[in-house]
Structure formats: structure tokens, C-alpha cells
């Protein structure tokens, strides 16, 4: 998962579908500020190639990332010199500071293998929020939305590289198991590689309970940016004792 091969073609494939990370970043920033007015510091968890984080860095005074996969971090820093991207696992991290917005985009949270791991990740994100700060998480599909045997296909071309991607999804326990095969054509030749992605089908109730138990309000917004919707929460303000 998240190999060097995938990091190199990841954005190309999704741009071919019309994905616009910069436009999504603007929408997320506006949404965050509706819930946390004046927000100026953002942490993007599982930031990948910084496709969202790069644009976020133009929208917030401080924008940092967290990423566990070295190939993704390396490519992000090559494309966006000067970004701060912390190496870390979303399930348990401590950066020693708080932010006014924490995001986890493009279904990255679905790669966690259990409800307990998802709850731990949400709690870790919430610990990095200032009181009154906004937590925004884009989920993977809910269990009732899963389609056994679903096949997706893409053909993308950028510059002198052409990428074909085909995926096949099956149910593995309570997770989507996607076998994804890539065919990449470049001046040096044609290469192939396969990725196996396993994304847990957490329920809406499980996400919402994780937010509440982490000390955040929660509302689910169906639809954008990719049809799976967004969970949006606000960290409870601390009350001083008397």
C-alpha cells in the first residue's frame, strides 16, 4: 500500500476523473471557518502527496501534514518544498501542539482495520484541536453502500505517461478488499503493478460515536467532495473550574 509506483501515478489517475484538490481545499477551508471562525492553523492527517495540503498552505497561516508512507511524504516534499510533513501514524501521534482545524481527507481513515483503531485515530486528531476547533473527516463508504464485485476503470494521460487502472472489489469480513491493477506506459517502456487495498466499512453511528467520545460535536454532510460526504465536528470548549 502506498508504494513508490503508486505515489508516482496516484494524482494522475484521479485528475483524469476530474478531481480538483485545490478547489476541494478551498471548500474545506470555508467549511472549517464556518464552524471555527478565524481558524488559521491546519493539520492534514494522512496528507499523502500533499495534493490537499499544498493548497491548504496558501489558505492558512500554518498548514502541516502527517503521513505514515515514506514514498508519499517524499513526493509531497519534492513537489511542495518548505512544507512541514510529520512522519506518524494517525492512530496514535503527538506533535506537541494544537491546531484550529484538523482534516483527514479522501477516505484515508478507511484504511484502519477496526473500530477501535478508528476511534483511536479520531481521539488523536481531537487531542490536536484547540477548543472550538473544527475536525473534518471524509469517510469510506458505509456498509449499506457496498457493492459486491464492483469494477472501476480509468485511462489517464499526462505528458508522456499513460496510466490504465482497473479495480475489483469484494467483501472481506466487514471491509472492502480492492485488487487494483495498473498498466503504465512511458518512453522507457511499459510496466505493471498491483495494489491490494483493504478499507473498513465503518457505520455512520460508529463515526459519530467516535467524535462524541473524543469531545467533539458531530454532523454528517452527505455528498461532496467525492460522494461519500464529510463528518464535521467542533471540539468542546474547556470550562475552567471554580
Pairing of strands 99-104, 129-137: parallel
Q: At residue 3, does pLDDT exceed 90?
A: no
pLDDT, tens digit (0-9, with 9 covering 90-100), for 172-196? 999 999 999 999 999 999 999 999 9
What pLDDT score does 237 carry? 84
Q: Give the separation between CA 139 and CA 19, rounded to whole angstroms.
A: 17
Looking at the chain, the number of H-run helices and the number of E-run strands are 6, 11
Closest listed residue to residue 60, CA positions, set 80, 46, 39, 81: 39
**Domain ranges for the chain:** 4-142+203-234, 144-200
β-bridge partners, 67: 87
Q: At residue 242, does pLDDT exceed 50?
A: no
Q: At residue 71, does pLDDT exceed 50?
A: yes
CA quadruple 201, 204, 205, 206: dihedral sign? positive
Reported as type and span, the H/E element at residue 13 is: helix 4-16
CATH superfamily of 144-200: CAC2371-like domains (2.20.130.10)
pLDDT, tens digit (0-9, with 9 covering 90-100), for 124-162? 999 999 999 999 999 999 999 999 999 999 999 999 999
Q: Give the separation between CA 179 and CA 195, rounded to whole angstroms.
A: 6
Q: At residue 37, does pLDDT exceed 90?
A: yes
Q: At residue 19, does pLDDT exceed 50?
A: yes
What pLDDT score does 1 carry? 59
Q: What percent of the chain has pLDDT over 70?
A: 98
For domain 4-142+203-234, give the fold: Rossmann fold (3.40.50)
Q: What percent of the chain has pLDDT over 90?
A: 95
Q: Give the separation between CA 209 and CA 223, rounded to whole angstroms.
A: 21
List, in order, residues 6 or more apart from 186 with CB less than 8 Å away: 160, 161, 162
Amino acid at each position: 500500500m502506498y508504494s513508490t509506483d503508486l505515489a508516482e501515478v496516484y494524482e494522475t489517475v484521479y485528475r483524469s476523473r476530474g478531481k480538483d484538490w485545490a478547489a476541494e481545499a478551498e471548500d474545506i477551508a470555508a467549511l472549517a471557518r464556518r464552524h471555527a471562525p478565524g481558524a488559521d492553523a491546519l493539520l492534514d492527517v494522512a496528507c499523502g502527496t500533499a495534493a490537499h495540503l499544498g493548497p491548504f498552505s496558501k489558505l492558512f497561516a500554518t498548514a502541516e501534514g502527517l503521513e505514515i508512507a515514506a514514498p508519499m511524504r517524499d513526493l509531497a516534499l519534492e513537489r511542495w518544498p518548505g512544507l512541514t510533513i510529520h512522519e506518524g501514524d494517525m492512530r496514535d501521534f503527538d506533535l506537541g501542539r494544537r491546531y484550529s482545524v484538523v482534516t483527514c481527507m479522501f477516505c484515508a481513515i478507511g484504511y484502519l482495520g477496526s473500530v477501535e483503531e478508528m476511534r483511536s485515530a479520531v481521539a488523536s486528531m481531537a487531542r490536536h484541536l484547540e477548543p472550538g476547533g473544527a475536525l473534518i473527516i471524509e469517510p469510506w463508504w458505509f456498509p449499506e453502500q457496498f457493492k459486491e464485485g464492483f469494477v472501476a476503470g480509468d485511462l489517464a494521460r499526462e505528458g508522456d505517461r499513460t496510466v490504465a487502472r482497473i479495480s475489483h472489489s469484494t467483501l472481506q469480513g466487514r471491509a472492502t478488499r480492492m485488487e487494483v491493477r495498473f498498466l503504465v506506459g512511458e518512453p522507457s517502456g511499459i510496466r505493471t503493478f498491483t495494489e491490494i487495498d483493504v478499507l473498513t466499512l465503518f457505520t455512520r453511528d460508529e463515526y459519530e460515536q467516535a467524535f462524541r467520545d473524543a469531545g467533539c460535536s458531530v454532523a454528517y454532510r452527505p455528498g461532496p467532495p467525492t460522494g461519500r460526504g464529510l463528518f464535521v465536528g467542533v471540539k468542546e470548549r474547556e470550562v475552567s473550574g471554580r
